[in-house]
Structure 1
Amino acid sequence: MVKEGDHVWGICVNPSHFRAGTLPKSLTLHSVRGPLTSNFIKKEGFNSTKNDSLPLGDPVCFVVHKNDLGHTFVRKPPPNVHIITCAQHWETAVTEIQSCGFVASSSLHGIVVADALSIPRLWFQFNDTSTIRTEGNFKYQDYLQSIGHMNARPIRNVTFIEDTTKYSNVLTNPLVLTQSELQAIINQTSDSFPYHLFHT
C-alpha cells in the first residue's frame, strides 16, 4: 500500500489511481514509462525526480563532444532536447543516458553507451565546430564497423536530432544484424577482454 512520503517508480502510474484519490501528493516519482505519464503527473502536481536537469518524459538526449560545448545548439537547445556532456562525472552521464529514449551524440562515448543500453542513437557532427577536423570519422567508423554497421556516416543537419525516425539501434534490428551475427559480436567482444589481468 502506497503511503505518504513513499518514493515510487513512475512506471506504475495510472490515471485511474489518481482520480480515485488513492495516492498521496507527497509521492516522489523517480522514473516514468513515457511522455503521457510525464505530462500527467506534471499536470496533477506530483513531485518528479530529484534530477531536475533531466525533464521527465523528454526522450531525446544529445551527448556533446567537448569540442562542441560552445555551439549555439548546445548552449540553447530546443526544449525537448536534454544536453549531456562528457565533462560530467561518468556515473552522472551514464545515469542520465539511461533515462533517454533516444541518444544523439557527437561523442563516441555517447554512441557506445547508448548501444550498450540498447537505446536508439544517432551519430552527429556539427558542420561549424572543430570536431570534424580533430576527430574525423576514423574512430567512430572503427567502432561502428566492429558491430556490423559498415557504411555509417554522421548526420549533420541539426533538425534531424529531434526527428526520432532518423535513429537506429543496430544491436536489436534484425534487418541490420541477425541473431548469429549479434552473438558473434558478443563473443568477439568478450574474448578481447584481458580477464587474466584481473584477480577479483
Structure 2
Amino acid sequence: MGDEISREVVEFISRKRVIHAPLEDADLLAVGSVLSFTKGWETASRKSPYVVWGTGSLEADVLLNQEKYLLSALRGPLTYSLFSNYIYNPLSVPFGDPGILVSAMWEQTGRKDYSWGIIPHHSQLEQDWVKRIHENTRRSIIIDTTNPDVRSIVEQISRCEFIASSSLHGLVFADSYRIPSIWLWNGPLHGGDMWKFLDYFSGIGRKLSRNFLCEALDDLNMLDSDIFDVSHFGNMSLICNRLIRNFPF
C-alpha cells in the first residue's frame, strides 16, 4: 500500500504528473521501504544520486553509501543510522513517512460508520484471525489493502473510530487523521521483522508501545481505552510542514 500512495502524495505536493519508474531510472524515492532495493546490480550503473524524500529501509543490515543519495527527508532514525558519516540535521533532513499527508489530500468525511477498522497486511488477508476478530467485533470493517483504489482505502479508514492494523501504512494513515490505533502482530512480514514499524514510530515520536498478538484478540470493543497513546498527535502538524518544506522538486 505504501508504494501505491507514493505517486498520489508526490503529485499532490508537486502539482505535476508523476510516472512510476524502475529503480535504475527513478528521480525520487518517496513512500515505502525502497532504500533496501537500491544497492543491487540493477542500480550500479546510475550516474546521478537518488533523491530521497521520506522513504526508509526494510531491514537493519543494509549499509548505504551516502554519496549515492541526496537526503531531503527519511522515514525515521533507524534508516538514518544506516548512512555512515552523515551528520544529522533535523531541520535539513526531517523524519516522517509522507503517507501522513493523506489527510491534507483527502479531507475526512466526518462520519464514523465503524467502531473499528481492521487492516491486515496484504499477505495476511485470508488468515483465520482476520475473520474471527471481525465477526466478534461489532461495527467493524475489514479494510482490504489490495484494493488498487488507495483513496477508497483511506476514506474507509477515516470513517472508523479506531484502527487495528498489521500494515504499517494502516497505522500511518490512522495517524494522519488522528485516529487512535493499535499495532497488530502475527509474526514477521519479511526479513526486516519489526524494523520499519520501529523506524516510523521513533521518527514521529510515537511511543514504542506493545504490539497486540492477533491470535490473542477476539472482540476489539472489549479492549481497555487506556491502550491508546495519542501524545504523538501533537507532533503531526510540525512533521507534515517539515516534509512539505523539504520536498525537493
The alpha-carbon distance between structure 1 residues 86 and 75, as it changes in their structure 2 partners (threshold 3 A), is same
Determine whether 1:169 maps to 2:227: no
Determine whether 1:192 maps to 2:249: no
The alpha-carbon distance between structure 1 residues 185 and 65, as it changes in their structure 2 partners (threshold 3 A), is same
**Aligned partner of residue 142 in structure 2, secondary structure:** strand
Determine whether 1:69 maps to 2:125: yes
Deviation at 1:83, TM superposition (A): 0.6
Deviation at 1:185, TM superposition (A): 3.1
The alpha-carbon distance between structure 1 residues 143 and 74, as it changes in their structure 2 partners (threshold 3 A), is same
Amino acid at match of 2:130: V
- Contact in 2 for aligned 1:144/1:152 (Cα 8 Å): no
The partner residue of 1:155 within 197, 203, 212 is 212
Percent identity for Structure 1 against Structure 2 = 25
Deviation at 1:100, TM superposition (A): 0.4
Write the mapping of 1:40-51 to structure 2, written as runs, cut at 5 A.
none
Describe the superposition over 1:4-55 as per-residue Cα deviations: whole angstroms up to 9, x where unpaired. xxxxxxxxxxxxxxxxxxxxxxxxxxx7866xxxxxxxxxxxxxxxxxxxxx
The partner residue of 1:91 within 151, 158, 162 is 151
- Cα-Cα RMSD: 2.7
Higher gyration radius (CA): 1
Higher relative contact order (CA 8 A, sep 6+): 2
Higher mean C-alpha deviation, range 99-108 or range 67-76: 67-76
**Aligned partner of residue 185 in structure 2, secondary structure:** coil
**Aligned partner of residue 85 in structure 1, secondary structure:** coil
Determine whether 1:82 maps to 2:136: no
The alpha-carbon distance between structure 1 residues 182 and 83, as it changes in their structure 2 partners (threshold 3 A), is closer
Q: Counterpart in 1 of 2:160?
A: 100
- Contact in 2 for aligned 1:114/1:120 (Cα 8 Å): yes
What CA distance in whole angstroms lies between the structure 2 residues aligned with 1:117 and 1:82?
Answer: 17
Write the mapping of 1:101-140 to structure 2, written as runs, cut at 5 A.
101-127=161-187, 131=189, 133-140=190-197
What CA distance in whole angstroms lies between the structure 1 residues aligned with 2:209 and 2:217?
Answer: 17
Deviation at 1:158, TM superposition (A): 1.7
Deviation at 1:140, TM superposition (A): 0.7
- Contact in 1 for aligned 2:162/2:180 (Cα 8 Å): yes
Structure 1, unaligned runs of 5 or more: 1-30, 35-55
